[in-house]
Amino acid sequence: MALNPEIILKAKAAFEQKCFQLLIDAYHICLTEKIIHLDWNENDISSEIHKSIKENPLRKKWKVSTNVEADIPKDIQKVKGFADKFPRIDFRLTTFSKNEEYEYFFEAKNLRQNDSALKRRYISTGIDNFVSKKYENGSLVGYLLEGKTVNTINGINSLIIKDKRDSEILNPKSHKLLKESYFESNHSEIGILKHFIFNFTNISV
């Protein structure tokens, strides 16, 4: 028997919050253990975040599977090489509940306050990939490697405003697990997109 749509929505929302906790717990571990280097690529940082997610006892308790650089199958013509055209996203977390599979995705981008190219890339291959639904059912994670969070977000918003997309700027919001570095943007195509900014600037040894 099919589950009530309202029950499915509640289950999805509950799973989303579990994914947030696993991700943020991993971030805090990386800060505490000073694992991250400020010259690392995105995939280097994501690899350490993923390792901490896998080792979190809550992941096993909640029966959550996770992998990095996941393919997202899409409806594309199936000719030789079609799988290479699937979009790839940094984190995929999944679980099963009452015969339903729930998925959640995170796309990660490096950020530096004084690097306009990285901020533009955050928009064009981060925000816009969700807005276009190339990526779905997920959130963005910014790895801040230089500068201040507020100045970096202001820089991203300046570019969005320059593109005449004022209604899509990132706004600070409160989140019980990460109040100072959590933002939301609103998009007519998809509604609210969540942004987590992980500040690693004080981690250097």
Q: What is each CA distance from 133 to 51, 103, 128, 139, 152, in whole angstroms?
A: 28, 15, 8, 12, 25
pLDDT of residue 177: 83
Amino acid identity of 191?
G
The mean pLDDT of 116-137, rounded to a whole number, is 95
pLDDT of residue 119: 98
What gap in Å lies between CA 109 and CA 122, rounded to an integer? 6
Four-CA torsion 166, 167, 172, 176, nearest 10 degrees: -160
Where residue 140 falls among pLDDT bands split at 50, 70, 90?
very high
In the numeric block, which tokens belong to residue 154? 């202001």
- Whole-prediction pTM: 0.90
pLDDT of residue 36: 93
pLDDT of residue 3: 61
Instruction: Please say whether the beta carbons of 159 and 137 come within 8 A.
Output: no
Is the pLDDT confidence value at 24 over 80?
yes
Classify strands 171-172 and 138-146 as parallel, antiparallel or unpaired: unpaired
If you ran DSSP here, which 8-state letter would residue 132 be given?
A: T
Q: Give per-residue pLDDT as tens, 73-123.
A: 556 554 554 345 556 788 999 998 777 889 999 999 999 999 999 999 999
Q: What is the mean pLDDT of the chain?
A: 89
Is the pLDDT confidence value at 160 over 80?
yes
Amino acid identity of 205?
V
pLDDT of residue 82: 39
Place of tokens 């996941």: 70
CA-nearest of 49, 42, 44 to 27 is 49
pLDDT of residue 91: 93
pLDDT of residue 69: 72
Burial profile 127-160: b = 16 or more Cβ within 10 angstroms, e = fewer? bbbbbeeebeebbbbbbbbebebeebbebbbebb
Highest mean pLDDT among 46-60, 96-110, 191-205: 46-60
Q: What is each CA distance from 163 to 55, 103, 114, 167, in whole angstroms?
A: 41, 32, 19, 11
